[in-house]
Structure 1
Amino acid sequence: MTDTTIAWDTYSRQRPERRPVNAAGETTWFNWTQYADHGPGTDPLGLQAGARVLDLGCGKGGNAAHLAAIGMNSFGVDVSPVQLLAATQRWGGRPGLHLQQANALAYLREDGEDFDAVYSVYGAVWFTDPAALMPLVWNRLRPGGRFVFSQRPPVEGCYGCQASYIPRGADEDPLVVKRWDFEPEAWEDLLIVHGFRNVRAEVLPAPPGPRKVGTLLVHARR
Protein backbone atom coordinates (compact mmCIF):
# COMPACT_ATOMS: atom_id res chain seq x y z
CA MET A 1 0.00 0.00 0.00
CA THR A 2 1.46 3.37 -1.01
CA ASP A 3 1.81 6.38 1.29
CA THR A 4 -0.77 8.18 -0.85
CA THR A 5 -3.27 5.36 -0.40
CA ILE A 6 -2.71 5.36 3.38
CA ALA A 7 -3.19 9.14 3.47
CA TRP A 8 -6.53 9.04 1.63
CA ASP A 9 -7.73 6.06 3.65
CA THR A 10 -7.02 8.12 6.77
CA TYR A 11 -8.79 11.14 5.33
CA SER A 12 -11.82 9.04 4.45
CA ARG A 13 -12.28 7.87 8.03
CA GLN A 14 -12.36 11.50 9.20
CA ARG A 15 -15.01 12.66 6.74
CA PRO A 16 -18.74 12.51 7.50
CA GLU A 17 -21.04 10.59 5.22
CA ARG A 18 -23.15 12.46 2.67
CA ARG A 19 -26.59 13.32 4.07
CA PRO A 20 -29.44 10.88 3.30
CA VAL A 21 -31.29 13.70 1.47
CA ASN A 22 -30.45 17.27 0.51
CA ALA A 23 -32.48 20.41 1.20
CA ALA A 24 -34.74 19.62 -1.77
CA GLY A 25 -35.47 16.13 -0.41
CA GLU A 26 -33.41 14.41 -3.14
CA THR A 27 -31.56 11.18 -2.36
CA THR A 28 -28.85 11.89 -4.98
CA TRP A 29 -27.50 15.23 -6.10
CA PHE A 30 -24.39 16.83 -7.62
CA ASN A 31 -22.32 19.38 -5.74
CA TRP A 32 -19.18 21.18 -6.96
CA THR A 33 -18.47 23.19 -3.82
CA GLN A 34 -17.58 22.77 -0.16
CA TYR A 35 -21.01 24.11 0.80
CA ALA A 36 -24.25 22.15 1.03
CA ASP A 37 -26.91 22.81 -1.61
CA HIS A 38 -24.73 25.29 -3.47
CA GLY A 39 -23.38 25.53 -7.00
CA PRO A 40 -24.42 24.86 -10.60
CA GLY A 41 -25.25 21.14 -10.43
CA THR A 42 -24.54 19.05 -13.54
CA ASP A 43 -24.92 21.91 -16.05
CA PRO A 44 -21.14 22.51 -16.52
CA LEU A 45 -20.78 18.94 -17.82
CA GLY A 46 -23.16 19.54 -20.73
CA LEU A 47 -24.34 15.94 -20.73
CA GLN A 48 -26.67 14.19 -23.13
CA ALA A 49 -28.64 11.10 -22.11
CA GLY A 50 -26.44 8.03 -21.73
CA ALA A 51 -23.15 9.96 -21.76
CA ARG A 52 -19.98 8.28 -20.51
CA VAL A 53 -18.67 10.34 -17.60
CA LEU A 54 -15.57 9.84 -15.45
CA ASP A 55 -15.04 11.10 -11.88
CA LEU A 56 -11.33 11.35 -11.00
CA GLY A 57 -11.05 10.91 -7.25
CA CYS A 58 -14.68 9.99 -6.69
CA GLY A 59 -14.31 9.57 -2.92
CA LYS A 60 -17.45 8.07 -1.41
CA GLY A 61 -19.22 8.24 -4.75
CA GLY A 62 -22.09 10.68 -4.25
CA ASN A 63 -21.60 12.68 -7.45
CA ALA A 64 -20.98 9.60 -9.58
CA ALA A 65 -24.08 7.93 -8.12
CA HIS A 66 -26.20 10.95 -8.99
CA LEU A 67 -25.06 10.86 -12.62
CA ALA A 68 -25.98 7.18 -12.81
CA ALA A 69 -29.36 7.98 -11.28
CA ILE A 70 -30.14 10.49 -14.04
CA GLY A 71 -29.25 8.04 -16.80
CA MET A 72 -25.54 8.51 -17.41
CA ASN A 73 -22.94 5.78 -17.82
CA SER A 74 -21.03 6.91 -14.75
CA PHE A 75 -17.49 5.84 -13.84
CA GLY A 76 -15.66 6.69 -10.63
CA VAL A 77 -12.07 5.94 -9.67
CA ASP A 78 -10.30 6.56 -6.38
CA VAL A 79 -6.96 5.43 -4.99
CA SER A 80 -8.40 4.73 -1.52
CA PRO A 81 -9.95 1.32 -0.82
CA VAL A 82 -11.66 2.77 2.25
CA GLN A 83 -13.33 5.45 0.11
CA LEU A 84 -14.38 2.88 -2.48
CA LEU A 85 -15.76 0.52 0.16
CA ALA A 86 -17.94 3.31 1.52
CA ALA A 87 -19.07 4.18 -2.01
CA THR A 88 -19.90 0.58 -2.83
CA GLN A 89 -21.78 0.02 0.44
CA ARG A 90 -24.01 3.03 -0.18
CA TRP A 91 -24.33 3.14 -3.95
CA GLY A 92 -23.18 -0.22 -5.29
CA GLY A 93 -25.44 -2.10 -7.66
CA ARG A 94 -27.05 0.99 -9.17
CA PRO A 95 -27.53 0.64 -12.92
CA GLY A 96 -24.97 2.63 -14.87
CA LEU A 97 -22.53 3.10 -11.97
CA HIS A 98 -19.01 1.65 -12.25
CA LEU A 99 -16.56 2.14 -9.37
CA GLN A 100 -12.90 1.10 -9.42
CA GLN A 101 -9.94 1.47 -7.10
CA ALA A 102 -7.14 2.99 -9.18
CA ASN A 103 -4.62 5.77 -9.37
CA ALA A 104 -6.01 8.42 -11.71
CA LEU A 105 -2.96 8.49 -13.99
CA ALA A 106 -2.82 4.70 -14.27
CA TYR A 107 -6.53 4.51 -15.04
CA LEU A 108 -6.32 7.14 -17.76
CA ARG A 109 -3.43 5.28 -19.40
CA GLU A 110 -5.51 2.12 -19.77
CA ASP A 111 -7.07 1.21 -23.07
CA GLY A 112 -10.81 1.67 -23.15
CA GLU A 113 -13.66 3.73 -24.51
CA ASP A 114 -13.29 7.49 -24.35
CA PHE A 115 -15.52 9.77 -22.28
CA ASP A 116 -17.95 12.57 -23.02
CA ALA A 117 -16.87 14.33 -19.83
CA VAL A 118 -14.18 14.01 -17.18
CA TYR A 119 -14.60 15.84 -13.89
CA SER A 120 -13.13 16.12 -10.42
CA VAL A 121 -14.63 17.71 -7.30
CA TYR A 122 -11.87 18.45 -4.79
CA GLY A 123 -10.44 15.23 -6.16
CA ALA A 124 -7.52 13.82 -8.11
CA VAL A 125 -7.09 16.85 -10.38
CA TRP A 126 -6.18 18.94 -7.34
CA PHE A 127 -3.67 16.34 -6.13
CA THR A 128 -1.98 15.33 -9.40
CA ASP A 129 0.72 17.15 -11.34
CA PRO A 130 -1.17 18.84 -14.20
CA ALA A 131 1.76 18.31 -16.57
CA ALA A 132 1.22 14.55 -16.20
CA LEU A 133 -2.59 14.59 -15.92
CA MET A 134 -3.79 16.98 -18.60
CA PRO A 135 -2.41 15.14 -21.65
CA LEU A 136 -4.01 11.91 -20.41
CA VAL A 137 -7.38 13.57 -19.85
CA TRP A 138 -7.22 15.12 -23.33
CA ASN A 139 -6.47 11.71 -24.84
CA ARG A 140 -9.44 10.04 -23.13
CA LEU A 141 -12.01 12.71 -24.01
CA ARG A 142 -14.10 12.46 -27.15
CA PRO A 143 -13.92 15.47 -29.51
CA GLY A 144 -15.91 18.24 -27.89
CA GLY A 145 -15.85 16.46 -24.53
CA ARG A 146 -15.72 18.53 -21.38
CA PHE A 147 -13.13 18.63 -18.60
CA VAL A 148 -14.43 20.33 -15.46
CA PHE A 149 -12.95 20.44 -11.98
CA SER A 150 -13.33 22.31 -8.70
CA GLN A 151 -11.11 22.97 -5.70
CA ARG A 152 -10.36 25.72 -3.23
CA PRO A 153 -8.93 28.92 -4.70
CA PRO A 154 -5.22 29.39 -3.99
CA VAL A 155 -3.91 31.34 -1.05
CA GLU A 156 -2.39 34.54 -2.40
CA GLY A 157 1.30 33.98 -3.14
CA CYS A 158 1.13 30.20 -2.66
CA TYR A 159 1.16 28.76 -6.17
CA GLY A 160 2.31 25.54 -7.79
CA CYS A 161 2.95 22.37 -5.81
CA GLN A 162 1.92 22.75 -2.17
CA ALA A 163 1.63 20.41 0.83
CA SER A 164 -1.65 19.27 2.38
CA TYR A 165 -1.45 17.71 5.84
CA ILE A 166 -3.82 14.96 6.97
CA PRO A 167 -3.82 14.61 10.78
CA ARG A 168 -3.51 11.25 12.51
CA GLY A 169 -3.32 10.35 16.20
CA ALA A 170 -1.94 12.68 18.86
CA ASP A 171 1.39 10.81 18.89
CA GLU A 172 1.74 10.48 15.09
CA ASP A 173 3.07 12.88 12.51
CA PRO A 174 0.48 14.01 9.97
CA LEU A 175 0.44 12.44 6.54
CA VAL A 176 1.41 14.66 3.63
CA VAL A 177 -0.02 14.76 0.10
CA LYS A 178 0.89 17.17 -2.66
CA ARG A 179 -1.65 19.48 -4.28
CA TRP A 180 -1.41 21.98 -7.14
CA ASP A 181 -2.74 25.51 -6.64
CA PHE A 182 -2.87 28.22 -9.30
CA GLU A 183 -4.75 31.42 -9.90
CA PRO A 184 -7.64 31.13 -12.39
CA GLU A 185 -5.66 32.72 -15.22
CA ALA A 186 -2.79 30.28 -14.71
CA TRP A 187 -5.17 27.30 -14.92
CA GLU A 188 -6.54 28.71 -18.16
CA ASP A 189 -3.03 29.03 -19.60
CA LEU A 190 -2.13 25.47 -18.57
CA LEU A 191 -5.20 24.01 -20.23
CA ILE A 192 -4.66 25.95 -23.44
CA VAL A 193 -1.05 24.81 -23.62
CA HIS A 194 -2.28 21.21 -23.38
CA GLY A 195 -4.69 21.61 -26.29
CA PHE A 196 -7.96 22.43 -24.57
CA ARG A 197 -10.30 25.12 -25.87
CA ASN A 198 -13.26 27.15 -24.58
CA VAL A 199 -11.35 27.39 -21.32
CA ARG A 200 -12.76 29.35 -18.39
CA ALA A 201 -11.76 29.46 -14.74
CA GLU A 202 -13.88 31.29 -12.21
CA VAL A 203 -14.29 31.58 -8.47
CA LEU A 204 -17.84 30.90 -7.34
CA PRO A 205 -18.63 33.06 -4.30
CA ALA A 206 -19.56 31.39 -1.04
CA PRO A 207 -23.27 31.37 -0.18
CA PRO A 208 -24.52 34.00 2.27
CA GLY A 209 -23.21 33.36 5.75
CA PRO A 210 -20.08 33.72 7.86
CA ARG A 211 -17.75 31.76 5.57
CA LYS A 212 -16.21 33.75 2.74
CA VAL A 213 -13.91 31.38 0.79
CA GLY A 214 -15.36 30.61 -2.64
CA THR A 215 -14.80 27.65 -4.94
CA LEU A 216 -12.54 27.60 -8.00
CA LEU A 217 -14.43 26.03 -10.92
CA VAL A 218 -12.54 25.35 -14.17
CA HIS A 219 -14.21 24.44 -17.50
CA ALA A 220 -12.56 23.30 -20.73
CA ARG A 221 -13.37 21.34 -23.89
CA ARG A 222 -11.32 19.01 -26.03
Structure 2
Amino acid sequence: MTDTSIAWDTYSRQRPERRDVNGRGESTWFNWTQYEDHGPGAGLLEALPGARVLDLGCGKGGNAAHLAALGHRAVGVDISPKQLTAARERWGQAAGLELHQADAVDFLREDREGFAAVYSVYGAVWFTDPARLLPAIRERLHPGGRLVFSQRPPVEGCYGCQASYIPRGADEDPLVVKRWDYEPDGWERVLKEHGFTDVTADVLAAPPGKRTTGTLIVRARA
Protein backbone atom coordinates (compact mmCIF):
# COMPACT_ATOMS: atom_id res chain seq x y z
CA MET A 1 0.00 0.00 0.00
CA THR A 2 1.11 3.54 -0.68
CA ASP A 3 1.41 6.19 2.01
CA THR A 4 -1.61 7.90 0.47
CA SER A 5 -3.83 4.82 0.63
CA ILE A 6 -2.74 4.21 4.26
CA ALA A 7 -3.67 7.80 5.11
CA TRP A 8 -7.15 7.49 3.60
CA ASP A 9 -7.68 4.08 5.19
CA THR A 10 -6.96 5.76 8.53
CA TYR A 11 -9.39 8.57 7.70
CA SER A 12 -12.05 6.01 6.74
CA ARG A 13 -12.02 4.49 10.22
CA GLN A 14 -12.77 7.90 11.72
CA ARG A 15 -15.78 8.69 9.53
CA PRO A 16 -19.33 7.85 10.60
CA GLU A 17 -21.45 5.70 8.33
CA ARG A 18 -24.10 7.35 6.17
CA ARG A 19 -27.55 7.17 7.74
CA ASP A 20 -29.99 4.49 6.53
CA VAL A 21 -32.36 7.23 5.34
CA ASN A 22 -32.11 10.99 5.05
CA GLY A 23 -34.46 13.63 6.41
CA ARG A 24 -36.91 12.96 3.56
CA GLY A 25 -36.95 9.24 4.20
CA GLU A 26 -34.88 8.41 1.11
CA SER A 27 -32.47 5.46 1.14
CA THR A 28 -30.13 7.09 -1.41
CA TRP A 29 -29.39 10.77 -1.88
CA PHE A 30 -26.70 13.17 -3.11
CA ASN A 31 -24.95 15.55 -0.75
CA TRP A 32 -22.36 18.12 -1.85
CA THR A 33 -21.77 19.56 1.61
CA GLN A 34 -20.55 18.43 5.03
CA TYR A 35 -24.01 19.00 6.52
CA GLU A 36 -26.96 16.61 6.54
CA ASP A 37 -29.93 17.40 4.28
CA HIS A 38 -28.35 20.59 2.98
CA GLY A 39 -27.53 22.02 -0.41
CA PRO A 40 -28.29 21.12 -4.03
CA GLY A 41 -28.57 17.61 -5.41
CA ALA A 42 -27.41 15.59 -8.39
CA GLY A 43 -29.00 18.03 -10.83
CA LEU A 44 -25.78 20.08 -10.81
CA LEU A 45 -24.24 17.37 -13.00
CA GLU A 46 -26.77 17.94 -15.79
CA ALA A 47 -26.47 14.23 -16.65
CA LEU A 48 -29.14 12.61 -18.81
CA PRO A 49 -30.63 9.23 -17.83
CA GLY A 50 -28.19 6.45 -18.58
CA ALA A 51 -25.18 8.76 -18.74
CA ARG A 52 -21.81 7.52 -17.52
CA VAL A 53 -20.65 9.60 -14.55
CA LEU A 54 -17.46 9.43 -12.48
CA ASP A 55 -16.96 10.04 -8.75
CA LEU A 56 -13.31 10.88 -8.02
CA GLY A 57 -12.66 9.95 -4.40
CA CYS A 58 -15.98 8.17 -3.94
CA GLY A 59 -15.27 7.16 -0.33
CA LYS A 60 -17.98 4.85 1.00
CA GLY A 61 -20.01 5.25 -2.16
CA GLY A 62 -23.22 6.96 -1.11
CA ASN A 63 -23.31 9.62 -3.83
CA ALA A 64 -22.40 7.17 -6.59
CA ALA A 65 -25.05 4.72 -5.36
CA HIS A 66 -27.65 7.46 -5.60
CA LEU A 67 -26.70 8.19 -9.21
CA ALA A 68 -26.97 4.49 -10.00
CA ALA A 69 -30.45 4.49 -8.42
CA LEU A 70 -31.37 7.35 -10.77
CA GLY A 71 -30.43 5.17 -13.73
CA HIS A 72 -26.96 6.52 -14.49
CA ARG A 73 -23.90 4.38 -15.11
CA ALA A 74 -22.08 5.42 -11.95
CA VAL A 75 -18.35 4.78 -11.60
CA GLY A 76 -16.65 5.37 -8.26
CA VAL A 77 -12.87 5.53 -7.81
CA ASP A 78 -11.00 5.70 -4.53
CA ILE A 79 -7.45 4.94 -3.46
CA SER A 80 -8.48 3.58 -0.04
CA PRO A 81 -9.21 -0.17 0.20
CA LYS A 82 -11.14 0.32 3.45
CA GLN A 83 -13.36 3.00 1.95
CA LEU A 84 -14.18 0.73 -0.98
CA THR A 85 -14.77 -2.28 1.25
CA ALA A 86 -17.40 -0.27 3.10
CA ALA A 87 -18.88 0.90 -0.21
CA ARG A 88 -19.14 -2.64 -1.56
CA GLU A 89 -20.66 -3.97 1.65
CA ARG A 90 -23.48 -1.44 1.51
CA TRP A 91 -23.94 -0.73 -2.19
CA GLY A 92 -22.19 -3.57 -4.01
CA GLN A 93 -25.42 -5.08 -5.36
CA ALA A 94 -26.69 -1.80 -6.84
CA ALA A 95 -27.34 -2.09 -10.57
CA GLY A 96 -25.33 0.35 -12.65
CA LEU A 97 -22.62 0.95 -10.02
CA GLU A 98 -18.91 0.21 -10.58
CA LEU A 99 -16.28 0.67 -7.88
CA HIS A 100 -12.53 0.73 -8.53
CA GLN A 101 -9.47 1.10 -6.33
CA ALA A 102 -7.05 3.37 -8.19
CA ASP A 103 -5.27 6.69 -8.21
CA ALA A 104 -7.56 9.25 -9.84
CA VAL A 105 -5.11 10.34 -12.53
CA ASP A 106 -4.10 6.78 -13.38
CA PHE A 107 -7.72 5.71 -13.72
CA LEU A 108 -8.57 8.61 -16.02
CA ARG A 109 -5.56 7.97 -18.22
CA GLU A 110 -6.49 4.31 -18.63
CA ASP A 111 -10.20 4.83 -19.29
CA ARG A 112 -11.26 4.73 -22.95
CA GLU A 113 -15.01 5.34 -22.84
CA GLY A 114 -15.22 8.77 -21.26
CA PHE A 115 -17.86 10.42 -19.11
CA ALA A 116 -20.79 12.80 -19.40
CA ALA A 117 -19.92 14.21 -15.98
CA VAL A 118 -17.09 14.00 -13.46
CA TYR A 119 -17.56 15.07 -9.85
CA SER A 120 -15.80 15.09 -6.51
CA VAL A 121 -17.27 15.77 -3.07
CA TYR A 122 -14.48 16.69 -0.66
CA GLY A 123 -12.55 14.17 -2.71
CA ALA A 124 -9.77 13.71 -5.22
CA VAL A 125 -10.10 17.09 -6.92
CA TRP A 126 -9.26 18.70 -3.58
CA PHE A 127 -6.36 16.33 -2.87
CA THR A 128 -4.67 15.99 -6.29
CA ASP A 129 -2.39 18.46 -8.05
CA PRO A 130 -4.66 20.23 -10.57
CA ALA A 131 -1.76 20.43 -13.04
CA ARG A 132 -1.95 16.61 -13.24
CA LEU A 133 -5.65 16.01 -12.67
CA LEU A 134 -7.45 18.67 -14.69
CA PRO A 135 -5.90 17.72 -18.07
CA ALA A 136 -6.81 14.08 -17.41
CA ILE A 137 -10.41 15.01 -16.56
CA ARG A 138 -10.78 17.20 -19.63
CA GLU A 139 -9.43 14.42 -21.84
CA ARG A 140 -12.12 12.02 -20.60
CA LEU A 141 -15.11 14.37 -20.43
CA HIS A 142 -17.41 14.23 -23.42
CA PRO A 143 -17.80 17.57 -25.26
CA GLY A 144 -19.99 19.81 -23.13
CA GLY A 145 -19.65 17.48 -20.14
CA ARG A 146 -19.69 18.86 -16.63
CA LEU A 147 -17.02 18.88 -13.95
CA VAL A 148 -18.46 19.70 -10.53
CA PHE A 149 -16.65 19.52 -7.21
CA SER A 150 -17.03 20.69 -3.65
CA GLN A 151 -14.58 21.31 -0.82
CA ARG A 152 -14.05 23.48 2.23
CA PRO A 153 -13.36 27.15 1.43
CA PRO A 154 -9.70 28.09 1.95
CA VAL A 155 -8.31 29.73 5.04
CA GLU A 156 -7.63 33.36 4.16
CA GLY A 157 -4.11 33.75 2.80
CA CYS A 158 -3.47 29.99 2.52
CA TYR A 159 -3.77 29.20 -1.18
CA GLY A 160 -2.33 26.56 -3.47
CA CYS A 161 -0.81 23.37 -2.07
CA GLN A 162 -1.48 22.97 1.66
CA ALA A 163 -1.12 20.18 4.22
CA SER A 164 -3.99 18.25 5.77
CA TYR A 165 -3.33 16.22 8.91
CA ILE A 166 -5.09 12.94 9.65
CA PRO A 167 -4.81 12.05 13.34
CA ARG A 168 -3.77 8.60 14.52
CA GLY A 169 -3.19 7.22 18.01
CA ALA A 170 -2.20 9.35 20.98
CA ASP A 171 1.49 8.39 20.63
CA GLU A 172 1.64 8.57 16.84
CA ASP A 173 2.38 11.49 14.57
CA PRO A 174 -0.51 12.44 12.29
CA LEU A 175 -0.48 11.39 8.67
CA VAL A 176 -0.07 14.19 6.12
CA VAL A 177 -1.78 14.52 2.74
CA LYS A 178 -1.64 17.43 0.33
CA ARG A 179 -4.66 19.45 -0.70
CA TRP A 180 -5.15 22.37 -3.11
CA ASP A 181 -7.01 25.41 -1.82
CA TYR A 182 -8.13 28.39 -3.87
CA GLU A 183 -10.67 31.13 -3.47
CA PRO A 184 -13.55 31.02 -5.96
CA ASP A 185 -11.85 33.35 -8.45
CA GLY A 186 -8.66 31.30 -8.09
CA TRP A 187 -10.44 28.11 -9.12
CA GLU A 188 -12.10 29.93 -12.00
CA ARG A 189 -8.68 31.04 -13.23
CA VAL A 190 -7.10 27.59 -12.84
CA LEU A 191 -9.92 25.83 -14.67
CA LYS A 192 -9.91 28.30 -17.56
CA GLU A 193 -6.15 27.89 -17.87
CA HIS A 194 -6.77 24.17 -18.42
CA GLY A 195 -9.35 24.73 -21.13
CA PHE A 196 -12.62 24.55 -19.19
CA THR A 197 -15.45 26.96 -19.95
CA ASP A 198 -18.65 28.15 -18.28
CA VAL A 199 -16.84 28.15 -14.94
CA THR A 200 -18.59 29.26 -11.76
CA ALA A 201 -17.39 28.97 -8.17
CA ASP A 202 -19.43 30.01 -5.16
CA VAL A 203 -19.50 29.40 -1.41
CA LEU A 204 -22.78 27.95 -0.17
CA ALA A 205 -23.43 29.17 3.36
CA ALA A 206 -23.77 26.64 6.17
CA PRO A 207 -27.34 25.93 7.29
CA PRO A 208 -28.72 28.00 10.17
CA GLY A 209 -27.44 26.96 13.57
CA LYS A 210 -24.34 25.25 12.21
CA ARG A 211 -20.73 26.36 12.16
CA THR A 212 -19.93 29.34 9.98
CA THR A 213 -17.90 27.28 7.48
CA GLY A 214 -19.74 26.96 4.20
CA THR A 215 -19.02 24.75 1.19
CA LEU A 216 -17.18 25.86 -1.95
CA ILE A 217 -18.93 24.41 -5.02
CA VAL A 218 -17.22 24.74 -8.40
CA ARG A 219 -18.81 23.99 -11.79
CA ALA A 220 -17.21 23.92 -15.25
CA ARG A 221 -17.82 22.55 -18.72
CA ALA A 222 -15.46 20.71 -21.06
Deviation at 1:147, TM superposition (A): 0.2
Matched with 1:40 is 40
Quickly say closer, same or farther: Cα 1:50–1:2, change in 2 above 3 A.
Answer: same
Amino acid at match of 2:16: P
Misfit runs of 4+, over 4 Å: none
Matched with 1:185 is 185
Distance 2:206 2:172 in 1: 34
Correspondence list, 1:106-185, <5 A: 106-185=106-185
For structure 2, the 5+ residue unaligned runs are none
Matched with 2:65 is 65
What does the per-residue CA deviation read over 1:36-66, in whole Å, with 9 as the maximum and x for residues that have no partner? 0001101110011101000000000000000
Deviation at 1:211, TM superposition (A): 1.1
RMSD across aligned C-alpha pairs, in angstroms?
0.6
| TM-score normalised by the chain length of structure 1 | 0.99
Matched with 2:86 is 86
Correspondence list, 1:87-106, <5 A: 87-106=87-106
Q: In 1, are the aligned partners of 2:64 and 2:76 still within 8 Å (CA)?
A: yes
Matched with 2:52 is 52
Q: In 1, are the aligned partners of 2:31 and 2:63 still within 8 Å (CA)?
A: yes
Distance 2:147 2:47 in 1: 12
Matched with 1:198 is 198
What does the per-residue CA deviation read over 1:52-86, in whole Å, with 9 as the maximum and x for residues that have no partner? 00000000000000000010000000000000000
Which piece of structure 1 moves more, 206-215 or 72-81?
Answer: 206-215
Quickly say closer, same or farther: Cα 1:64–1:210, change in 2 above 3 A.
Answer: closer
Q: In 1, are the aligned partners of 2:111 and 2:140 still within 8 Å (CA)?
A: no
| TM-score normalised by the chain length of structure 2 | 0.99
Distance 2:93 2:18 in 1: 18
Deviation at 1:17, TM superposition (A): 0.3
Deviation at 1:111, TM superposition (A): 3.5
Distance 1:67 1:73 in 2: 8
Residue-pair matches, total: 222
What does the per-residue CA deviation read over 1:11-51, in whole Å, with 9 as the maximum and x for residues that have no partner? 00010000000000000000000000001101110011101
Amino acid at match of 1:112: R
What does the per-residue CA deviation read over 1:63-118, in whole Å, with 9 as the maximum and x for residues that have no partner? 00000001000000000000000000000021100001001011011032010000
Amino acid at match of 1:152: R
Q: Secondary structure at the match of 2:189?
A: helix
Amino acid at match of 2:97: L
Distance 2:44 2:69 in 1: 18
Amino acid at match of 1:131: A
Q: Secondary structure at the match of 1:137?
A: helix
Matched with 2:216 is 216
Distance 1:111 1:163 in 2: 30
Q: In 1, are the aligned partners of 2:75 and 2:98 still within 8 Å (CA)?
A: yes
Q: In 1, are the aligned partners of 2:151 and 2:216 still within 8 Å (CA)?
A: yes
Distance 1:143 1:203 in 2: 27
